[in-house]
Amino acid sequence: MKVLSFGELLLRICPDVDGQWLADNELPFYVGGAELNVATALALWEVPSAYFSALPDNFMSEQILHYVNKCNIDSSRMQLSGERLGLYYLPKGKDLKNAGVIYDRAHSSFASIQPNTLNWDEIFKDVSWFHFSTICPALNQDAADICLEAVKAADERGITISIDLNYRAKLWKYGKEPIDIVPELAKYADLIMGNIWAAERMLGIILPVDIVAIDTKENYLKQAEITSKEIIAKFPKCKHVANTFRFDYKAGIRYYTTLFTSGQLYVSKEYLSEQILDRVGSGDCYMGGLIYGFYNQHEPQQILEFATAAAYNKLYIPSDCTTATVQDVHQTIAQHD
C-alpha cells in the first residue's frame, strides 16, 4: 500500500543575490514543492510513494513527469489540465519564510483544479497513507475545498492522514486566514506536524506571551508538550504531534524536535550547524522521516531521531528534495551520539 502526497509541483528559480545571473544568462532551478519533497524522500527510502498534482498538458510537463517517475514515484494520478506550472523565486540559501521569496503561481494548473471533479476512488486506490500541507489551502478557496474533500474521502476509506502546518505569509490572499480553514482539515488528521507558533496561528493553540522572552530550551520543550496535548484534546482523531525548533546560530542553525505520542513527549538530539547550504525542504524531509518511521512501525524515539537527522542532512543538500539515503541518515545519527 502506498503513501500518497498531494500538493502543487513547483519550479524554484534561484537568482544569486548579487545579480550575477544577469551577466551569466543563467538561473539555477530545482523541481520541488513541499509534498513532492516528501514523496521523493519516501521513494528514496523505499516506501511505496505516489504523488498527485496537476500540470499543464505540454512538453515540459512530460519531461517533469519523466523525472518524477525516475525518482520511483507513482505519478499515474497526475492530472494534465490548466494553463501553467507554478514558480517561485528564492535567492540561494534563503528560507521560504524570508521576505525575499517571490511567488508566481496564480492561475497555475494546480490552483485551477475545481472542487467536485475528482474521482477519489481512483486517487485513493492502493493508498494507506495520505499526506498534504497547509500550503494547498493557502492558494484559494477552491484548493481549500478540495483539501476538505480529500481528507473526508481518505477518512471514509480508513486511510491514515498527515498534515504539515506550513505557513506562508505571502499566500492566504483570498480573504481567509489559516484559522478559518485549517482546523476543519486538522480534525481528520492522525499526525500533525509543525511548530508551536504555527499551531497558534493555524489551530488557535494559544502560546504564553513571554515564550520568546524566556527563550530557553527547557521552556520550549515544556510548551511543546502543552501544545501537543491541547491539539490532541481539540482534535481527538490525532494520535501524534511533532514540533520542530529551528533557531539561527552564527551563519547556520540550532535544531531539535519533539514527538508527542501515546501520552509521552519524546525529544530528539540537538544539532548545531555553523554554516548551511540550503534551508529549503528541510521541514519536508522531517515530515518524510516521520512517515517513514510510522509506516515501518518503528519505536517513537527511533522515528524522531531518523526524521530529525534527515532534516539536518537536507541543510547540506542544494535542492528542494533530499538525496540522503537511509544509510546516510543513520550515519548522521551515529556521528552525533
CA distance 133 to 135: 5
Residue 99: the pLDDT is 53
pLDDT of 208 higher than 80: yes
Residues pairing with 133 in the sheet: 164
CA angle 327, 258, 275 (to 5 degrees): 60
Are the CB atoms for 138 and 175 separated by under 8 Å?
no
All structural domains of the chain: 2-242 (3.40.1190.20)
Q: What is the pTM of this model?
A: 0.95
Residue 82: the pLDDT is 96
Residue 153: the pLDDT is 99
Cell output for 52: 498527485
Q: What percent of the chain has pLDDT over 90?
A: 83
Residue 277: the pLDDT is 73
Look at 253 and 298; give whichever has higher pLDDT. 298
pLDDT in tens, 297-310: 999 999 999 999 99
Residue 286: the pLDDT is 97
pLDDT of 92 higher than 90: no
What average pLDDT does the segment 240-266 reach?
A: 92
Cell output for 134: 497547509
What average pLDDT does the segment 136-154 reach?
A: 98
Residue 134: the pLDDT is 98
Provide the residue type at 128 as one letter: S
Look at 195 and 273; give whichever has higher pLDDT. 195
Cell output for 184: 476543519
The owner of cell 533530499 is 322
Mean pLDDT over all residues of the chain?
Answer: 94
The owner of cell 510537463 is 61
CA distance 153 to 119: 10
pLDDT in tens, 16-46: 878 888 999 999 999 999 999 999 999 999 9
What average pLDDT does the segment 159-164 reach?
A: 99
CA distance 290 to 303: 6
Residue 336: the pLDDT is 86
Phi, psi values for residue 55, rounded to 5°? -135, 155
Look at 213 and 135; give whichever has higher pLDDT. 135
A 10 A CB-CB count for 16 gives: 15
Cell output for 243: 514540533
Residue 251: the pLDDT is 72
